[in-house]
Amino acid sequence: MSPCTHKPLLSHLLVLLAVTALAACNPSTESGGNSDNGNGDGGGGNGGNDNNGDLVELDYGVGFVLVMDPAPNQIALRGYGTGQIPETTRLAVQVLDNDLNPVAGHDVSFAITDSTGGPELTRDSATTGSDGSASTILRSGTVQGTTQVEVSMDLLDSNGNVIEQDVHVATTQPVSMHTAAPVTDGMSLSADVFNPEGYDYNGIPVQVTVHLGDIHRNPVADGTQVNFLASTGLVDPVCTTDNGACTIEWRSAHPRGDGRVDILARTNGNDAFVDTNGNSRFDLGESYEPQGEPFVDTEGTGQFDPGDFFWDLSGTGDYTPADPGAHYKGIGCTEDALEHGHCDERAVVFNNIVLVASGSDLRLDPEPTDVSVSDTVIYQMVDQNGNVPPAGSDLSINCTDASATALDSEVPERPGALFGPWPVVINYGDDPGSCTLEVQSPNGLPQRYTISVN
Ligand SMILES: [Ca+2]
Ligand SMILES: [Ca+2]
Ligand SMILES: [Ca+2]
């Protein structure tokens, strides 16, 4: 996208390379700025980095400072840095004169607005290079939150004389700091339809969305990968989160079994723990919940049972349940906890969702028989496996002389119980006659029952 894309740089190289990186940009093709306050871009040949920035006019009309947006603007709390989300971010400014030419050799100072939890700058002042830029590195602290960095400098007249010293000229865009690590009790799954008409048709889709949070119930780092498997049908193998969620598609296909569909999602993360001292990190003595190996809870018992599919992460050849004496698994342990063997591996964060691939061959169970006027009868609508009918299935009534009305006859996309009938209540009117009851799925053939109302 940009002619001057920069890969993430190691923090110890960042300061040295920042100047080079800015200078390497071709200003004629850089959009430069996109500020919230509507200030201009870095136009006029002084466009900045491949992130955006705010162009701020200096007091006394002595030039401008281009404040680059932090890149990235979300960082991990100290101890939680990963390849996906680092613990540092670079903050850069570019000092420009009234003609938007870079001002070299100018001292710029930086200061953190909120130091709660100990975020720090690698340096609190820098001198602009030949391209007018100066930068520092913000290193995260241990408390979740947001901070900004204030930029100050002396204002000089055109002769280089100081008009005013150490003037606060700008504040960077906010940088948020959070653990961003999935936690074992922070994964949940949802589906747009729980009873697709997938038993008799291939390729009927269900969108399954996973939501994933950290110990503060903030979204995990963007780009976190979540893997999926399903007991029947076809499922996309992986999605990557954006703002704490991502969606995959399940599609009906062989094998089908009895229509039950178990979908399991998993990723790596942290054991849930109680952060009694509020430092966002696992300390010795804090309680935590070790996990057993991930499994597909096939019969919905809430526990592993023989026959449930599982991942043999331990390589023992059998299912390994949670060990109450296991070390805390994850990242973000304190030094003491690390020395005692905690945080030596990642926890597996997983959860299940159950769907049913409903069939198209519907019936009423038991088979309707003749009724008396004014009767109220509950009919059980089921598919050929005894499961709930597909979403959109309906019971319709056509009567001659008689009249009848059905309550809640259309099956919704979230029918509650999946492995049983959908009950429909019919009130027969006061007049004798005959009625035809017809049950039909959206794609199936109708099943008709004609009864007398006596
Ligand atoms: Ca703690
Ligand atoms: Ca089970
Ligand atoms: Ca095992």
Q: pLDDT per residue over 236-249, tens digit each?
A: 999 999 999 999 99
- How far, in Å, is the centroid of ligand 2 from the Cα of 227? 20
pLDDT one-digit tens code per residue, 296-354: 887 778 889 998 888 888 899 999 999 989 999 998 899 999 999 999 999 999 999 99
Q: How far apart are CA 390 and CA 443, in angstroms?
A: 9
For range 95-107, the mean pLDDT: 95
Listed in sequence order, the residues at least 6 apart from 201 whose beta carbon sits closer than 8 Å to its beta carbon are: 252, 360, 443
Tokens found for residue 11:
């923090």
Ligand nearest to the backbone CA of 323: 3
Residue type, 117: G
* The dihedral formed by the CA atoms of 160, 164, 165 and 169, expressed in degrees to the nearest 10: -100
Sheet holding 234-235, edge to edge: 187-191, 205-212, 245-251, 234-235
Q: What is the pLDDT of residue 115?
A: 82
Confidence at residue 51, expressed as pLDDT on a 0 to 100 scale: 57
The answer to whether 93 and 68 have CB atoms below 8 angstroms apart is yes
Query: Which of 205, 330, 340, 234 shows the shortest CA–CA distance to 273?
Result: 330
CB atoms within 10 A of CB 164: 12
Measure 322 CA to ligand 2 centroid, in angstroms.
15
Distance CA(293)–CA(165), nearest Å, equals: 62
Give the mean pLDDT of the chain.
87
Q: Which residue has the higher pLDDT, 209 or 19?
A: 209
From ligand 1's centre to the CA of 286, what distance in Å?
Answer: 7
Q: What are phi and psi of 88, to 5 degrees?
A: -130, 155
Round to whole Å and give the CA distance between 147 and 116: 9
Retrieve residue 334's tokens: 């304190």
Short-list 381, 374, 373, 393, CA closest to 453:
373
Q: What is the C-alpha separation between 377 and 409, in angstroms, rounded?
A: 13
Backbone angles phi, psi at 264, to 5 degrees: -120, 135
Share of the chain above pLDDT 90, in %: 70
pLDDT confidence bin for 39, thresholds 50/70/90:
very low
Rounded to whole angstroms, the Cα distance separating 112 from 257 reads: 60
Q: What is the 3-state secondary structure (H, E, C) of the chain?
A: CCCCCCCCCCHHHHHHHHHHHHHHCCHHHCCCECCCCCCCCCCCCCCCCCCCEEEEECHHHCCEEEEECCECCEEECCCCCCCCCCCEEEEEEEEECCCCCECCCCEEEEEECCCCCCCEECCCEEECCCCCEEEEEEECCCCCEEECEEEEEEEECCCCCEEEEEEEEEECCCEEEECCCCECCCEEEEECCCCCCCCCCCCCEEEEEEEEECCCCCECCCCCEEEEEECCCEECCEEECECCEEEEEEECCCCCCCCEEEEEEEEEEECCECCCCCCCCECCCCCECCCCCCECCCCCCCCCCCCCCECCCCCCCCCCCCCCCCCCCCCCECHHHHHCCCCCCCEEEEEEEEEECCCCCCEEECCCCCECCCCEEEEEEECCCCCCCCCCCEEEEEEECCCEEEECCCCCCCCCCCCCCEEEEEEECCCCEEEEEEEECCCCCCEEEEEEEC
pLDDT at site 299: 76
Peptide bond into 368 cis (omega under 30): no
Of all ligands present, the nearest one to the C-alpha of 179 is 1
Q: Which residues surround ligand 3, an ion (CB under 5 A)?
A: 312, 314, 316, 320
Res 57 pLDDT > 80: yes
Question: What are the tens digits of pLDDT across the range 210-260?
Answer: 999 999 999 998 889 999 999 999 999 999 999 999 999 999 999 999 999
Domain architecture of the chain: domains with CATH: 11-178 (2.60.40.10), 181-357 (2.60.40.10), 363-453 (2.60.40.10)
State in Å: Cα 112 to ligand 3 middle.
Answer: 48
**How far is ligand 1, taken at its centre, from the CA of residue 223, in Å?**
26
pLDDT at 12 over 70: no
| Distance (Å) from CA 329 to ligand 1 centroid | 14
Positive or negative, the Cα torsion across 159, 161, 166, 168?
negative
Residue 44 has pLDDT above 50, yes or no: no
What ligand has the least distance to the C-alpha of 298? 2
CA distance 260 to 419: 8
Residue bearing tokens 């870079």: 102
Checking if the pLDDT of 21 tops 70, the result is: no
Distance between Cα 338 and ligand 1 center (Å): 13
Among 116-120, 151-155, 170-174, 360-364, the range scoring the smallest mean pLDDT is 116-120
Q: Ligand 2 centroid vs 308 CA: distance in angstroms?
A: 6
**Which of 21-35, 64-78, 354-368, 428-442 is predicted with the least confidence, judged by mean pLDDT?**
21-35
For residue 255, cis peptide bond before it (omega within 30 degrees of 0) = yes
Rounded Cα distance, 118 and 112, in Å: 10
> What's the mean pLDDT in 405-421?
94
Whether the CB-CB separation of 454 and 407 falls below 8 Å is answered with no
Q: Exposure string (b/e) for 395-415, b if CB count within 10 Å is 16 or more? A: bebebeebbbebeebebeeeb
